[in-house]
Amino acid sequence: MPIERETHGEVVLLRMNRAPVNALDLELLSDLVSALDGLSGAAPPVVLTAAGRSFSAGVDLRRITGSPVDYTGEFLAALTAAFRAVFQYPAPMIAAINGHAIAGGYVLAAACDQRVLADGGARVGLSELRVGVPFPTEAIEIVRHAVGTSSAAELALGAELYDVPSALRKGFVDEVVPAEQLVETAVRHAQVRWERGPQAYLLAKRQLQHPVWENISRSAATEDAVVRALWSSTDTRDRIQKFMASVSDST
């Protein structure tokens, strides 16, 4: 299974494990949603992390271009569902970012209540426009909620990747710790937030999220239809293939 589960006292740790870089595909996203749905009743505090050297390098673009167009529609629906499941989770949700958090990988981290990044060589950012693909409405609104409109614009429109010191300085993550302390630190944060009162925490979380859902309700139906059309277009698939070729040529 691409999502592994372990417990640390009252805290549940969910670990994405899809080698080599935890690229997002239909199965990983569906498994993540199922795992969170299964926890939502009891709603323990959760830490979201990953195996290996990447938290997630973003969408599995090779799977997109190598699959029938119908897969793209299914994938985008699963991607949005995963963003929502993390963002809406009714208890503390902490991202323990063990490595690169790029594109959709960074959105998953942004959907958490707090982001702790392992010190090292990770890169963080939104690279979608570098590839030439659009953002689902939920992705933009979640990132805006996490870092503010100005920083969200820098991430999305600039399409740059930031090293660890820059990501911390710009507020794209909340804390940087030595890699060997990452899980311990994230678990501690989740536990402390949980102990302050689950019901009060949930109410504050929902109150803070109101603008996100208002913007989504106004715009998502129209914008996401355009997103699906663009992701499925021949031009976009060509852009993805050219991007992957350029990355291969540079490595």
Which tens digits make up the pLDDT trace of 37-76? 999 999 999 999 999 999 999 999 999 999 999 999 999 9
Domain that holds residue 121: 3-195
Whichever domain contains 97, its CATH number is: 3.90.226.10
Mean pLDDT for the stretch of residues 239-246: 89
- Residue 136 is predicted with a pLDDT of 96
Report the chain's mean pLDDT, rounded to a whole number.
Answer: 96
Ramachandran category for residue 126: left, alpha or beta (phi over 0 → left; psi -120 to 50 → alpha): beta
pLDDT reading at 251 higher than 50? no
105-119 pLDDT, tens digit each: 999 999 999 999 999
- pTM (two decimals): 0.96
Is 223 within a domain?
A: no
Provide the number of structural domains found in the chain: 1
Q: How far apart are the first and last CA of the chain?
A: 30
Edge-to-edge, what's the strand order for the sheet holding 100-102?
A: 54-56, 100-102, 124-125, 161-162
Taking the C-alpha atoms of residue 30 and residue 59, their distance in angstroms, rounded to an integer, is 14
> Residue range 168-178: average pLDDT?
98
Contact 179, 120 (CB under 8 A): yes
Q: What residue has token string 């670990």?
A: 15
Q: Is residue 156 part of a domain?
A: yes
- The CA distances from residue 76 to 60, 71, 81, 134, 173, in Å, are 12, 9, 8, 11, 25
* DSSP symbol at 41: T
In angstroms, the CA 246 to CA 251 distance is: 9
Instruction: Give tens-digit pLDDT for 206-225.
Output: 999 999 999 999 999 999 99
**pLDDT for the residue 20:** 96
- For the stretch 120-140, pLDDT in tens is 999 999 999 999 999 999 999
